[in-house]
Structure 1
């Protein structure tokens, strides 16, 4: 039988499988053309990425590959059944949340515009009732204490302090959970959960603020904090940024994140103004605005359900689920060993019995910010990410945490009322929106025209310019209040320059994402949200305490803290390194068989070999091509002669080789590809992790 006839027969007997083409050959064809079987087997393994979580998939393809003609009909039927089951699993797996009961709908493709429209509705619903809820809460407390002004103010301050702490703690504890859920089950799934929780929060507000409800501290705190179960706006922004990162390219990621953040800041800025406008429409009946908020929250939830498509593919979610389940299994195994092992210390047993690891899991997303070494052992990504995180924590936290101290200082210094405070917040919110929507895209376009290159996997000169501008604007913002200490123009200038510093948020997040694994983007954004929640708990009380302690002697002392931190950040930026070579930043998981796949697919049999040793020699002829890419090769034959003594041995050899490649591409695998190959006694290709 000629090679052309074999090729045509094989094509007619080939049927697509979930992992690759399955070729069915007879014993006669197998014995006459062993080199063709080997070539087709290697090309099947190496021509496409392997995602296999069950050993049965490998066994099924192996049995389909080496099947007698007598069993051909049965094999074809089994293979068709497998393909139908795989398609059924593929179509069923994306259905989560409300999608389980709704009929099948054809959603539009994932779009940043649909996301921004829906998120703006939700943010508007939350912010238009901020002032209304504050007024209604104070009215309930004053009615309860029968207009006792001092007792009412004390109770109101207590209520605000307790609810703010609870909201911050819920944000920290739930950000990590939502980060895992968004990676494992999809971004839309998390947005649906947050929408349902927001509806429950709106219903709780309608209950506690109606006229027949009497104020009671603990019940009000409980119902007031129900909406905080969605982990706050920072968590929603983190999920939204993850969605944007999934659907846009690396070159456009920063512009798209800036656009998304501009919509969020603009909605936050106009939300209180819309609430005031609605109160005037309702002739002072602020309670009716709660119905408007409920309507907007229901509209957001339905819009997410029926119009927003998932950004992560099924395979990406399955891969994240596999990685997460492996982590859980390892954690449970360590827990059992610590509790029941005689060698464990008492502290270790108490630690696991009291489930103190649950507390540590709240901060588990922060682990993603500790970037591992590259395949070449470089620490540049880790150092760059840590510097960006430090700038985000200290400077960004100071900008947000000093707002309350600035407002308090202006109220006592310049006798500000609610009108001036509203102006201050409006300048900051609307200014940030305009900067992110207009200034950032225009600046990026201008720099690219000046031959500034945006690097997809490393911080670049464009990012550095944004960070320098951010720090300069922060220093100018707080210095203006010191210069214009006798006039409130300094406070307004502070709000203006703070809004101009909005370059930082998309730049820092985009810079961190460049060094992160694609499997954990949601956890990276969750880690950034956890840091911001931590700073929201620490920074505002810290600045208020500094101002209260120095109000009589040196009231502007707290303004020097962000100036000093920004100056130190300018020094830290000098240690950020820009790396243009992608190979130097390649992660361990990317260094397995990328170059090997390309060369092995180009392998061709020039002469017809007669023995298995000839086949191995033809494989070894690729040594020169592979060594041109600095991949060391050993000369041990890939298959020994005993491997070709029968069909069963060939099947076992193929399964072993297939399993080695499957294991090397599994997320839970922590060993290098070299260790996996040695475990299978295949030592022909010695590919170290440093490739």
Structure 2
């Protein structure tokens, strides 16, 4: 609900009926930066600690969650993910060619066929038939992983709200681990293990949520341990780790395969990377959701199940509804509003279109630059590597700097002025500006600016007739990489802490579908227009990004789900809070 003044009811002690903090919030007519939070409770003695910080008071440092615990593991995971993309495509091509040549030599024993040698250059595989079979098989792999991960991610997100994040992060890594095992077996024993077994690895990866689930759980973990004001920066760090992996992964894979003379070594290293990350998540990573929050989320879930039991729709029918998780984007009932629903739908639509455009144009860029500018592997790797490196700089350096200058610095200055004017007012200011519910105006300004840069980038791609100009527009578009993490952050600010996993799980569903649909759409468009107007795909992308920018202007700041009930209304809810408090006390005392 959109905040209008300070007349809304609040729970006693500034907490809602499930024990989640409900401190005074910022009004839409409040100045943009005067009430922003620096997100650092150590910057002033009077700062009010976040609820998650209160839950972990007295816990040893190695058991206290932070994005810095998760970021190194996510960087290793992203590095393995980026490092095997090209080697896996080449391996599939070799395995498909090996079977095709063997079949042709059996059908036509009189025709000369050169045997395919594993992990070597095989020019006999550069024929349309093999290329078509390899492309078709790769499409099946993408469809299986994408569809299954889209179906499973919302369920993982909802469960993680009730039972914690770390084990579901580990569960997502298990899928990649199984996929690497199958790939290694198919590459090591190509005559015994048919390459179609790789599809089993894709199925296992999809059933565990794949990279889509890992990304959603990572952002959920980050949302648990950051304030809304600093959440965009934290998500930017995660995106920086992702782009760093995409930039460095292929380069490291090429170097390793060159040194060892065997591309299989890349998959073994990826396997051990997944194994290390899995063990780290299980045994080292601190849980970000305290027992208190988990119990509160389970209590809310039981209430929802009780309400749904009265519905004429059967439970089986609800479970079979593939799109049912998207209901979180259209909340109804107390504490919601039309503005809230519009915000969630618009932000989700922009996020899905942006993610789909990013994931769906990778192969088009490679084919287009080869066709128009005659770029080879070196030029393409330089383009991808340098633009990804610039994205990392933007996400880990420029975005935090902008946030500090226009949010943290201004807020600290406002606090000092208030303290000088009235020493008794400093506590009030700190208590009032420790939370900024909903996306604030700074979030929206940055998102809109990033979409403008993306629009200009793709318009430049369409008009560029020289490779250097195309490269320059690629760097410009890299500046718009802040949009995705800021969109995820803005979405998470619209719902309560116990629904963040459910919301990001629903976004993972949309991203999983985009992962299937958009590559086919943009690839098909390019194949249809490459003979006459190859720039058509970039014209469509430019118009699409421009449309996203227009939609972003309909998103309102400081809109969120708000519990309007000032008091607990049932004994069971009071019992839930009491039980949660006991669990927290036991956890702190036990450690």
TM-score of the superposed pair, with normalisation by structure 2: 0.74
Shift of 1:429: 2.2
SS at match of 1:226: helix
SS at match of 1:482: helix
Mapped partners of 1:151, 1:528: distance in 2: 38
Describe the shift of the 1:228–1:430 C-alpha distance in structure 2 as closer, same or farther (beyond 3 A): farther
Mapped partners of 1:585, 1:292: distance in 2: 44
Shift of 1:179: 0.5
With 173-182 and 455-464 compared, the bigger mean Cα shift is at 455-464
Cross-structure match for 2:232 = 254
Per-residue CA deviations over 1:17-58 (Å, capped at 9, x if unaligned) read xxxxxxxxxxxxxxxxxxxxxxxxxxxx99998779xxxxxx
Which of 178, 181, 192 aligns to 1:203? It is 181
Describe the shift of the 1:363–1:213 C-alpha distance in structure 2 as closer, same or farther (beyond 3 A): farther
SS at match of 1:251: helix
Q: Do residues 233 (structure 1) and 211 (structure 2) align? A: yes
Q: Do residues 293 (structure 1) and 270 (structure 2) align? A: yes
SS at match of 1:209: helix
Cross-structure match for 1:140 = 95
Describe the shift of the 1:258–1:223 C-alpha distance in structure 2 as closer, same or farther (beyond 3 A): closer
Per-residue CA deviations over 1:401-424 (Å, capped at 9, x if unaligned) read 233223222222222222222223
Q: Do residues 476 (structure 1) and 453 (structure 2) align? A: no
Shift of 1:188: 0.7
SS at match of 1:252: helix
Q: Do residues 176 (structure 1) and 150 (structure 2) align? A: no
Describe the shift of the 1:165–1:374 C-alpha distance in structure 2 as closer, same or farther (beyond 3 A): same
Per-residue CA deviations over 1:37-96 (Å, capped at 9, x if unaligned) read xxxxxxxx99998779xxxxxxxxxxxxxxxxxxxxxxxxxxxxxxxxxxxxxxxxx9xx
Q: Do residues 414 (structure 1) and 369 (structure 2) align? A: no
Which of 543, 564, 567 aligns to 1:593? It is 567
Describe the shift of the 1:323–1:591 C-alpha distance in structure 2 as closer, same or farther (beyond 3 A): closer
Describe the shift of the 1:367–1:494 C-alpha distance in structure 2 as closer, same or farther (beyond 3 A): farther
Summarize the alignment of residues 72-83 of structure 1 with structure 2, pairs less than 5 Å apart: none
SS at match of 2:64: coil
RMSD: 3.2
Mapped partners of 2:567, 2:372: distance in 1: 66
Per-residue CA deviations over 1:252-286 (Å, capped at 9, x if unaligned) read 2222221222122212221111111111221x111
Mapped partners of 2:541, 2:138: distance in 1: 26
Q: Do residues 306 (structure 1) and 283 (structure 2) align? A: yes
8 Å contact from structure 2 (residues 525, 537) kept in 1: yes
With 493-502 and 466-475 compared, the bigger mean Cα shift is at 493-502
Structure 2 unaligned blocks of 5 or more: 1-11, 20-55, 102-123, 415-432, 579-591
8 Å contact from structure 1 (residues 373, 382) kept in 2: no
Structure 1 unaligned blocks of 5 or more: 1-44, 53-93, 95-104, 340-351, 595-656, 667-691
Shift of 1:450: 5.7
Summarize the alignment of residues 636-655 of structure 1 with structure 2, pairs less than 5 Å apart: none
Higher relative contact order (CA 8 A, sep 6+): 2
Per-residue CA deviations over 1:201-251 (Å, capped at 9, x if unaligned) read 222222111045446354232234433433222321110111111112222
Mapped partners of 1:511, 1:178: distance in 2: 21
Mapped partners of 1:429, 1:535: distance in 2: 21
Which of 358, 372, 379 aligns to 2:319? It is 358
Mapped partners of 1:364, 1:275: distance in 2: 40
Describe the shift of the 1:483–1:190 C-alpha distance in structure 2 as closer, same or farther (beyond 3 A): same
Figure out how many residues of one structure are paired with residues of the other and give that number. 484
Cross-structure match for 2:63 = 108
With 133-142 and 499-508 compared, the bigger mean Cα shift is at 133-142
8 Å contact from structure 2 (residues 329, 344) kept in 1: yes
8 Å contact from structure 1 (residues 197, 229) kept in 2: yes
Which of 249, 264, 267 aligns to 1:271? It is 249
8 Å contact from structure 1 (residues 401, 539) kept in 2: yes
8 Å contact from structure 2 (residues 173, 210) kept in 1: no
SS at match of 1:467: helix
Which of 198, 207, 221 aligns to 1:220? It is 198
Cross-structure match for 1:456 = 436
8 Å contact from structure 1 (residues 368, 516) kept in 2: no
